[in-house]
Structure 1
Amino acid sequence: MQLTGKITRDSLMTLEAYSKYRKERKSEVIAHRKLRSVPLGDHINLQFESELTIRYQIQEMLRIEKIFEEEGIEQEIEAYAPLMPDGSNWKATMLIEYPDVNERKRELARLIGVEDRMFVEVEGHPRVYAIADEDLDRENDEKTSAVHFVRFEFTPEMKAAVKAGASVKLGCDHTNYPAHTMIAPETLASLAGDLR
């Protein structure tokens, strides 16, 4: 998969070429996705997106839906491309995971606003809170969604610190879900590549 920094119709593979690529490289993409997955506590997981993960998602949707017409391809790009980091930020799909349906229902009611209480803290710099769900509102007065899309914006100084090897903490200071974790060095190395 050719990474170009911008996803356009012309930079995507044909369905035939993607089918071949998928057979040869699916395990590499899964390993990349796993590397960029950061669990926070027992029930929240952040999947940090990259150009590779977003290209793969678009190609998968085109393959599954058998989309090959220009308009359909553009719609998929418009839906997923905004989830790709643009050099000054990290973007992630945030999953709230409770296997038991009753527990999940109860906890989603207790976790209203949790997406706005997610933060990253670069060593030596103040916390940066998530900008959540820019696509649409994902909660109501009764519960939050189990899936959110979050963006963490960095100052030039924070970007330089991450690229120079500063440690980074991922956390949440929601009253009903206080948690934090240090991002593993190998994950952080991958995420640092998103910053320009």
Structure 2
Amino acid sequence: MPQITRDSLMSLESYAKVRPAYRSEMIAHKKNRSVALGGHVTLIFEDEKTMRYQIQEMLRAERTFEDAGIQDELDAYNPLIPDGSNWKATMMIEYPDPDERQLALGKLKGIEDRVWVQVADQPRVYAIADEDMERENAEKTSAVHFLRFELDATSAAAAKSGAAIRMGIDLVAYPVEAITLAENARAALVADLA
């Protein structure tokens, strides 16, 4: 899959001009790539478009225009673009109340390794989590994790031929039975496969 390059990014000035429309477009795009697992976990399945938006937003927020700073953002976010044989997602654990969130993150240690996807009747594929750095400590897990679901050729072919895609979480403290993706989400994920 294509990687984002320095030359393909907009300048800060150009981005400022298109940002409102681009942001609206991105909200609609992410809607098809978001999957709620229970009431407190959301997966946002990333692609080149979501990562391009994230990079542009980071450069804008940090007022970065030097080559080294831009390259740092590219190095951070390009690995989150699926490469044709996998799906990559940002997992957010969301509790509005800070005290409730703190308590929940202590109980949900290891959740990032228990999220799974399944195509048709193929075996479940468990997430490979946080390849860039550890996001869990002795007391709690993080509220944000980065997941990769590596599909074998049979699962990828089944997904591309229209098979159902299911997801869930296999953790005693937060079990989510298999949910079947709606067609808009299924189609968005299938587009990530080579």
TM-score by shorter chain over 0.5: yes
Q: Deviations over 1:128-175 (max 9, x none)?
A: 000001111111111111111100001111111111111011110101
* SS of the residue 1:174 aligns to: coil
Instruction: State the match for 1:93 in structure 2.
Output: 90
CA distance in 1, matches of 2:42, 2:60: 27
- TM-score, scaled relative to structure 1: 0.95
Q: State how many pairs are aligned.
A: 193
Name the counterpart of 1:56: 53
Secondary structure of 2:176's aligned partner? strand
CA distance in 2, matches of 1:86, 1:5: 8
Mapping of residues 157-172 of structure 1, within 5 Å: 157-172=154-169
Structure 2 CA distance, aligned partners of 1:20 and 1:78? 25
1:175 aligns with 2:172: yes
Equivalent of 2:81 in 48, 71, 84: 84
- State the TM-score, normalizing by the size of structure 2: 0.96
Q: Distance in 1 between matches of 2:3 and 2:85?
A: 15
SS at match of 2:141: coil
Structure 2 spans left out of the alignment, 5+ residues: none
What's the secondary structure of 1:90's corresponding residue?
A: strand
Counterpart Cα distance in 2 of 1:25 and 1:150 = 26
**Counterparts of 2:64 and 2:137 in 1: how far apart (Å)?**
34
How far 1:119 sits from its partner (Å)?
Answer: 0.3
Aligned-pair identity in percent equals: 58
Q: Unpaired segments of 5 or more residues in structure 1?
A: none
Aligned-residue Cα RMSD (Å) equals: 1.2
